[in-house]
Amino acid sequence: MVQTKFQMAHLTASEMREAVARSPVILLPFGSFEDQGPHMPMGDYLLAEDMAEKIARKASAAGHEVYVAPVLPFGGADFFGYMPGGIALSQSTLQAVLRDMLDSLLRHGLTRLIILNGHGGNCTMIHDVTRSIWLRDNVVVPSFYLWRVAASFLPQIVGAEQAAQSGGHGANPLTSIGMHVLPDLVRDDRIPQKHADQTAWGLNVSDFGTLDLDGALISVPLEGDCTASNGVGRGDPRLCSAETGARLTEKLVETGVKLVEHVVKQDVQEVSNKED
């Protein structure tokens, strides 16, 4: 079968029923709608959705049937409530939404599921829900935190020094990936031209919600406007580029395809073990 549709939303009801019988892999992209810096679109969920379709297309070309579920654009509330126009869900609400989404798919035997997460504030919630499903159904639903994995690739692509200087919220990896994937939405003219270390509560900022006390990282309940400048954390977005974004995207897609292949392999082995 040559797959021509990759978004579940594009399938007709009859096409969906036929696809379910073949046990496809379903990718569930999650993102956020928040401050990503003065130069980046607030809808960073667009990047997670785009990455999911790229992975689905490449995995399909490798012989796997993969579909992308409708993206959940609102992330779990954490540090970005200060942003006018931003929309976030409470952790308890988001947890209930994810649980219902997964249960809807599992009900019909769709167990080859992968979460493509594009927001740090979703991580704990995703772990709690997927762990409860594993305990209840013995089904493993892996979560691929896109931007954490992309950050791990950054030193290979730009070197350790530039990775350290450019990595952070409002900078790498999202700004570079945005420059590559959504060039018309990134405002190069609004990239901050000055970058300085931030202080809050009398201490140097290490990251969102984390301050440096003589080398010890201390968590504090401060929102992002206290620990960042216009949504930009410790990284310098002037060091980001579309070229870096293209290489990061390629690496993420390759990793996503490997994860699809592993999920299929594990599922086949489990079915075989049950039959034996």
Which domains are seen in the chain, by residue range? 8-156+245-275 (3.40.50.10310)
Closest CA to 170 of 42, 31, 78, 48: 42
pLDDT of 208: 83
117 contact partners, CB below 8 Å, separation of at least 6: 30, 48, 123, 126, 143, 144, 145, 146
Q: Where are the beta strands (DSSP E) in 90-184?
A: 113-117, 143-145
Q: How far apart are CA 178 and CA 186, in angstroms?
A: 7
pLDDT for the residue numbered 237? 96
pLDDT at 271: 62
Supply the pTM of this predicted model: 0.95
Would you state the pLDDT for residue 268? Answer: 79
DSSP 11: S
List per-residue pLDDT tens for the chain, 276 residues long.
789 999 999 999 999 999 999 999 999 999 999 999 999 999 999 999 999 999 999 999 999 999 999 999 999 999 999 999 999 999 999 999 999 999 999 999 999 999 999 999 999 999 999 999 999 999 999 999 999 999 999 999 999 999 999 999 999 999 999 999 999 999 999 999 876 778 899 999 988 888 999 999 999 999 988 888 889 988 999 999 999 999 999 999 999 999 999 999 998 777 666 666
Which SS3 state, helix, strand or coil, does residue 172 take?
strand
**Distance in angstroms (rounded) separating the CA atoms of residues 82 and 102:** 31
Q: Nearest CA to 174 among 6, 34, 74, 71?
A: 34
